[in-house]
Structure 1
Amino acid sequence: MEALTLYQLNRRIAELVTNSSTQNVWVTAELSDVAVRGGHCYMELLQKDPDTGATVAKARAAIWANVFSRLRSDFYIATGQDFATGLKVMVRASVSMHPVYGMSLVINAVNPEYTMGDLLRRRKEMLARLKAEGILDMNRSLCWNEPPLRIAIVSAEGAAGYGDFMNQLNGNQLGLRFTTRLFPAIMQGERTAQSV
């Protein structure tokens, strides 16, 4: 019985999966395990069952450094978000099969309008839920004799929203000095509730 080497098998797989039907195709997915290393962005793309939340498809993906800096900047300008776990995205990707590292998707474009639509939908759902629970306007009904000068913040340390909040706090028009304490948390994805 003659056997293939693993390298030979992986080369055959690469020949089968890397063709015109798997190159530069638009794919919708949820981001997971996003990590930036050496200027490259690595992640997993997930598809979940909308009823159960169970993962039904998963693929490793990467955005190489020569593309990532531009995509990241354009995406942030359009959405106000960085690439992060839990975001729903539409990406243009090509299948890549490496004999050592296996199959992955190489992303070369992102459609920020798709993510914006999902973010707006989630915001509307959250506001409707808060209103239905009667807590949307609770803070407006509170009367403060003195402003709270000690503030606990639950946020991801590198989050743009956290930085914006601190800038607003430190540059307030009244010149108030606040004492803050950050409680680091994951703000998007499956581990959000446990982290917060």
Structure 2
Amino acid sequence: MNLVLAREFRDVWVYGEVGKVTNAASGHCYFDLIEEEDGARSVLAIKLFRGVRQSLSSKMKQHGVDIVSGIKVRIRVTPDVFAQNGSLGFKMSDLDPRFTLGDLAAKREEIIARLKRDGLYDRNKRTHLPLVPLGIGLVTSKGSAAHADFMKTLEQSGIGFRVSLCDVRVQGDGAATSVAAAVAHLATLEDVELVAVIRGGGSKTDLAAFDDEALARVVATCAKPVFTGIGHEVDTSIVDEVAYSWNKTPTACAVAIIDVVNEFVVRVESAAQRMANIVLHALAAAERRVADAVGQLRTLRTTVLNGAKSRIDLLESELKGFDPVVLMRRGWSITYGADGRVITSTKQAK
């Protein structure tokens, strides 16, 4: 049957949305290619064998494209009958990454336009960020490298952060729903002051969950500031754009949070230094006033003492004028008569 199909049918290019994806232990990949039109739903069973997958890996990696659920692809296929059950499927032999990237870009622009229209694009950026946000709600895959890097960076800061972790899927089926539920839950916790959404690097299609409109709306309307570190230094996701703070990696996200706390510490230390300078300035001014007062007292003391000495000298001089000896030297005397009375006139003298 396959020989007949190979002889009668040439390779054809088909496009559609990737549905359920199964990656087998053998390295083969099986997925559904879905096309919906006028209410009708068509599904093709696609087989991507390991050898073809390996031959396409460099092209896919170069463009950041992979086979993941929810993206649209344009692929080259040939009909193939599965011998065990006689079902008809298609073997994939090539992929057009530009088709996928173009579709992703178009969807992205449409979603961003709707978010702006609804006033949600910069809503989370207007939420209140505490001066010292120590309570962190962390959304990531528990035990991942992203999780480890984030926690290590926080611990090395020496700051007493409190982290509430929500373990989620960060790619593939259900990732966007899982992350959205975690963000919504953490936003309700009183001890959570900001939410951090992180994951490691990946291809553009690996990160497709973070371009999901429903997730972006949850992040945009979150009552707590959302910090992201989704691990892609070239592109930003829609979730990055609507978040309070976008950072390139999980480590950079942790550093951004640490910087918020350190900025407050610097402000407090600066204020304390200003207060200390004010106190020192006041003390120095008081010391100058005391020194001036002491100098004035010393001058006053000298003036008072000199004045007193002058008066004493004057009184001493005046008293000396009444000294009998001095008076006698001047020819003055007090003469008494025989009756013991002071003679005040020459007529009284005999």
Q: Which residue matches 2:16?
A: 29
The residue correspondences of 1:1-196 to structure 2 (distance < 5 A) are: 11=1, 14=2, 17-20=5-8, 22-37=9-24, 38-49=26-37, 52=39, 54-55=40-41, 57-79=42-64, 81-101=65-85, 102-144=87-129, 145-147=131-133, 149-153=135-139, 166=147, 169=150, 175=157, 179=163, 180-184=165-169
RMSD of equivalent CA atoms: 3.5
SS at match of 2:35: strand
> What is the deviation of 1:171?
7.5
Given that residues 26 and 90 in structure 1 are in contact (C-alpha distance below 8 angstroms), is that contact kept between their aligned partners in structure 2? yes
Given that residues 169 and 178 in structure 1 are in contact (C-alpha distance below 8 angstroms), is that contact kept between their aligned partners in structure 2? no
Distance 1:23 1:152, change over 3 A: farther
Distance 1:164 1:128, change over 3 A: farther
Distance 1:178 1:44, change over 3 A: farther
Distance 1:193 1:150, change over 3 A: closer
Given that residues 68 and 172 in structure 2 are in contact (C-alpha distance below 8 angstroms), is that contact kept between their aligned partners in structure 1? no
For 2:49 and 2:80, the matched residues in 1 are separated by 13
In the alignment, structure 1 segments of 5+ residues that lack a partner are 1-10
Given that residues 72 and 83 in structure 1 are in contact (C-alpha distance below 8 angstroms), is that contact kept between their aligned partners in structure 2? no
Distance 1:193 1:151, change over 3 A: closer
SS at match of 1:130: helix
Structure with the higher helix share, 1 or 2? 2
Distance 1:133 1:63, change over 3 A: same
Structure with the higher strand share, 1 or 2? 1
For 1:125 and 1:188, the matched residues in 2 are separated by 22
TM-score of the two chains, using structure 1 as the length reference: 0.69
In the alignment, structure 2 segments of 5+ residues that lack a partner are 182-350
| Aligned-pair identity (%) | 21
